[in-house]
Amino acid sequence: MSEITQEQVTQQSDPYLSRFEALEKEGERGGPSWVFPIRKAGISRFAELGFPTIKHEDWRFTNIRPITELPFLPVLEPSRETISEAALNRFAFAGLEAHRLVFVDGFLAPDLCQIESLPEGAIVGSLAEQLKKESKEVKDHFAGQINGEENAFTALNTAFFQDGAFIYLPKGTVMEKPIHLLFISTGSERGMTTHPRNLIIAEPHSELKLVESYAGLNDIPYLTNAVTESVIADEAHVEHCKLQNEPGEAFHMASLYSHQGRSSRFHFHPIAMGAHISRNTIRTTLDGEGLECVLNGLYLTYGKQLADNYMTVDHAKPHGESHEYFNGVMDEKSHGVFHGRILVRPHSQKTDAKQTNKNILLSGNAVVNAKPQLEIYADDVKCTHGATCGQLSDDAIFYLRARGLNYPTARRMLTHAFAGEIVERIRMDTVREELDRLVWDRLEQMPRLAQTAE
């Protein structure tokens, strides 16, 4: 029995519900009429769930009270603040050789986008626009994967989202250049909340390279609450890198739902560096034989940051292969959370599922909570998991020191290498190179690593 009464839930959700009623009256903003019932289902789901507290098993280590204490100011119209093309340069991947969609406070900013000639039939653009067009693809897949979802933030996104990216690759389409989705929050007000919503559809045999990055202009407590749904059809290959680099006071909640078909390949690299509290939720359904799913994440925190990684890998068909590699580096009083659930359904024989979570605590005050969770209902499977937490290897430190490198240098080298293990798995060369530099710089900002004296 949960100790939270329905009444408490209702009270807490009140401002959200009344905001929704207002949205309902505005009509237009709710988007096309076929979407409205989906929104309504979202808000009812949210009312039912309420915000999670640390009494909820899935949120034990992540206290989101600072978020619920903020005023709720969903952004429902495009920002009047304009960002110049040149101002984009301060953001990661701005110089990437890529197709680019820029969203400011959750709305597409057409002036900042850069979409060159796309392969025949491919679509890279605004989701809001697609919803209006009511194409079969969008109707078939929008909100298709969130049924029964227990994450209140996803429900909230469904109720309030305004825009986001829509990517569609027809059968056999190979996108050579990556697509970059840049989400910028102006952070003009405390409590400002954006609800980016993305839908990605990769039809059979298509290939997609995707970079999704989040940043902000002002360092104040605002919330980004993003949801991405990915549909990866048979034999499609998707590599997806997500960089969360919000300012230090901001909050970031993001959920990715992916559905994979037979012999498909999905490599997802979530990198969390910013925000006060962030949570990256992944729910991936491995719904075909011979597929491969790699979740390869990195979280770097210091100060009072908290970075939570929560994932469910659902092996719904036999002969699937999944790997999760998550490395975390925590300094000062920061906090890392890893929750990796692997579900192997009864008939999913010959599943090969591996999970590793490694953490380095640079300070005695840093904390990490790791929770592997294997639920295996098939008998002929290979499942392994391992979590480590601690300091760097003494043997390695000594080896480096025995060659003339002092202790701080040895520690820095090994910490960079530790983060590098994750970055190296990114196959998009230009993306990997840029991330390598970003991760390097971020680590150099960690107070313990910046120390030069022992």
CA gap 446, 273 in Å, rounded: 11
Shortest gap between Cβ of 92 and other proteins (angstroms)?
22
Strands 123-126 and 165-169, sheet pairing: antiparallel
Q: Closest distance between other proteins and the C-beta of residue 409, in Å?
A: 7
Burial class (CB in 10 A: 0-12, 13-18, 19+), 263: middle
Locate 1 and state its tokens. Answer: 């029995």
- Residue 401 CB, nearest approach to other proteins (Å): 4
Minimum Å gap between C-beta 421 and other proteins is 5
Among residues 379 and 395, whose Cβ is nearest to other proteins? 395
Give whichever of 5 and 406 is closer to other proteins, judged by the CB atom: 406
| Residue 278 CB, nearest approach to other proteins (Å) | 24
Residue number with CB closer to other proteins (185 or 296):
296
Task: Between 201 and 400, name the residue whose CB sits nearer to other proteins.
Answer: 400
Spatial CB neighbours of 92, under 8 Å, sequence gap ≥ 6: 213, 215, 243, 245, 434, 435, 438
In angstroms, the CA 45 to CA 156 distance is 8
Binding site for other proteins (CB under 8 A): 393-396, 398-407, 409-410, 413-414, 416-418, 420-421, 424
Give the contacts of 132 (CB within 8 A, at least 6 positions apart). 31, 32
322/327 Cα distance (integer angstroms):
17
Residue 64: count of CB within 10 angstroms of its CB = 21
Reduce the DSSP state of residue 62 to 3 states and report it. coil
The smaller minimum CB distance to other proteins, of residues 96 and 419, is found at 419
User: Nearer Cβ to other proteins, position 34 or 398?
Assistant: 398
| Least distance to other proteins, CB of residue 335, Å | 24
CB of 400 to other proteins, least distance (A): 7
The DSSP symbol for 432 reads H
CB contact at 8 A, 109 and 79: no
Looking at the Cβ atoms of 372 and 420, the one nearer to other proteins is 420
